[in-house]
Amino acid sequence: MLNFNYIILSLAFVSSLLYSQEEFVNDSYCGSDDVVNIKSIKYPWYKQSVDNTFQRALEYSESSALNRDIVFEVPVVFHIVYNTDEQNLSDDVIQSQLAALNEDFRRLNENASNTRDFFLPFAGDPQIEFYLATEDPDGNPTTGITHTYTNRSGFPYLDFADLFTGDISLDQVKSSETGGVDAWDTYRYMNIWVCNIEDSFLGQVLGFAYPPIDVQDALDSLDYDTVPDWSSFEGALSNLDLQGIVLHYPVVGPNNPQADDDGIYGNEFGKTLVHETGHFLGLRHIWGDALLGGGCSVDDGISDTPNQEVASNFVCDFDQDTCSDGANDLPDMVENYMDYSNDQCMNMFTNIQIDVMRAVLEIARPGLVEGQEENQCIPGDINGDSILNVLDVVLTVNIALNLDSNNDCADINSDSIINILDIVLLINLILY
């Protein structure tokens, strides 16, 4: 039997969702904040655990322990779940989506030049790259793209009952038992499901992602005197098969021939995945995801994003300034990937957003980048400028003569000794 507090929380959340939908002029949105809020109805400690994980990542990002030099490489698998030929996106479309994702996560996107001058000091290169998995969980070769027919015309994002059960109906696409595809090991792969997301009573969801969460931290926060059935909570949080991203098929890939099939425009350049990957790596919407409003008093936790009262509603309005910060006031950062801007407008992550995402990879999703800290230099690139030249030779000689500190990048033949042989090999690399 539902208790009174549970009913009150459910009704409050329903009201807030219905109210928030009035803000979205084209009735489409990202469902990632709904995930946290819906889970929190059934598990009130869920949001706290998400917040704790974010805070840990933020604190780690501010420490000297954060490695800012490594280019993290994340293996990805796309699961295409289709009912019609139109929904069965080609591998070429997926390749174009991956290319767009990598451009944005290396700040190589063409529209990076559109970042306004006063935001340029805040914009950075996340140094995160994504590649299609070449080996499946069983060790077999793979393209990193699966295509699975389903007899379902689509998958609803939410049923009204979800607001009382704490479930997300769209998670059915993540299970073969409900017409979807089972996840690959979510500790080792970033799983992305692509399907037809059906309209819900809240509107059209373009995508959503589960946030990083620390299961043990959540369990440690439980009050066992008031939560007798803590085992069900443990099961809900430790269901790792839910981790990943789900996308509505028309918004995938810049060369998608089905773009705008659903009558929703402005999402044809593959930025939806960039936005959802930001959520997957711990970022919130730039206006802070207030459940019942809150306006400018609610922040996204990132200090180099200006306070913003509401989403930009898929309009690229460079004059929008919903919060005043006094003499140093900046307009809303509508070009940020974590706003609800149209694809043409989105062009930047801030430096602190980047640090948080990299911290999440290290402390909350370590399996995606496991072992990458050990060998992240170009052999011979002693100064880390990605260019092999005479300066690297001089530095290697100094290391060999014990005139400078050791550098693993100088050990070109990997014999754990830096000597004349490494110098010769480096010269050959430069010459040839």
The shares of helix, strand and coil residues in the chain, as percent rounded to the nearest 5, are 40, 10, 50
Secondary structure class of 203 (helix, strand, coil)? strand
16 φ/ψ angles, rounded to the nearest 5 degrees: -65, -40
382, 395 contact by CB (below 8 A): yes
- Catalytically annotated residues: 276
Cα separation, 160 vs 175, whole angstroms: 21
Calpha distance 244→76 (Å, rounded): 10
Best CA proximity match to 321, nearest among 313, 288, 305, 329: 329
Q: How many residues does the chain have?
A: 432
Question: φ, ψ for residue 247 (rounded to 5)?
Answer: -125, 145
Residue 267 CB neighbour total at 10 angstroms: 25
Asked if residue 46 lies in contact with residue 168, where contact means CB atoms within 8 angstroms, the answer is no
376 contact partners, CB below 8 Å, separation of at least 6: 69, 70, 71
Residue 134's nearest CA partner among 213, 220, 202, 76 is 76
DSSP string, 83-113: SSTTTS--HHHHHHHHHHHHHHHTT--GGGG
The torsion region of residue 416 among left (phi > 0), alpha (psi -120 to 50) and beta comes to: left
DSSP symbols for 128-191:
EEEEE-SB-TTS-B--SEEEEE-SSS-EES--TTHHHH---GGGGGG-GGGTS-PPP-TTT-EE
CA distance 147 to 286: 34
Residue 128 dihedral angles phi and psi, to the nearest 5°: -125, 130
